[in-house]
């Protein structure tokens, strides 16, 4: 079993200038938005908004429009947040994999076939997992010192 040598990320065509600019701007905005949405301030603001909405119920006689406001707002925000979160996780995952690949390639005793495992098939990963399981279950080797 050998991991693929070509990166699937590099199989797409190079981005043109405007596409690269849009991707860069989106990446920066997604990072900022993910940080903002994950902050304590965002939680307090969201909680306060829900409380204001709930308290305003009697004022609007708990109308369908009153309910539609919170339903629409939360649905739209959730829909947009999914894309931001996915982008951030993809970027973080890619960076983590590259860091691990660097550590593997710079360690003398490490096996280079472990580099780029995220592009292996499920069967190849299962074979490697079984290999590690067998190693874990073997009795420890005695030192020759």
Compute the residue count for the chain.
145
State both tokens at 3. 């991991």
Higher pLDDT residue, 64 or 113?
64
pLDDT tens string 56-98? 999 999 999 999 999 999 999 999 999 999 999 999 999 999 8
Mean pLDDT of 119-130: 89
Structure-token match 């691990």, residue found: 100
Q: Using an 8 Å Cβ cutoff, are 8 and 119 in contact? A: yes
Is pLDDT of 112 > 90? Answer: no
- The b/e string for 82-118 (b: 16+ C-beta within 10 A; e otherwise) is eebeebbeeeeeeeeeeeebeebeeeeeeeeeebbbb
- What pLDDT shows up at residue 144? 55
Note the helical H segments in 38-121. 40-55, 64-106
- What pLDDT shows up at residue 16? 82
Mean pLDDT of 88-110: 89
**Dist CA 143 CA 76 (whole Å):** 62
Mean pLDDT of the chain: 85
């Amino acid at each position: 079993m050998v991991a693929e040598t070509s990166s699937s990320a590099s199989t797409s065509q190079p981005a043109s200038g405007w596409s690269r600019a849009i991707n860069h701007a989106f990446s920066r905005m997604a990072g900022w938005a993910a940080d903002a949405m994950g902050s304590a301030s965002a939680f307090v603001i969201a909680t306060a908004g829900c409380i204001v909405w709930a308290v305003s119920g009697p004022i609007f006689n708990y109308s369908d429009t009153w309910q539609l406001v919170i339903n629409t707002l939360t649905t739209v925000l959730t829909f947009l947040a999914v894309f931001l979160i996915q982008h951030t996780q993809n970027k973080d995952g890619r960076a983590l994999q590259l860091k691990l690949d660097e550590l593997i390639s710079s360690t003398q005793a490490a096996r280079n076939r472990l580099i780029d495992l995220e592009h292996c098939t499920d069967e190849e990963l299962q074979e490697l997992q079984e290999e590690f399981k067998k190693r874990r279950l073997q009795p420890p080797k005695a030192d020759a010192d």
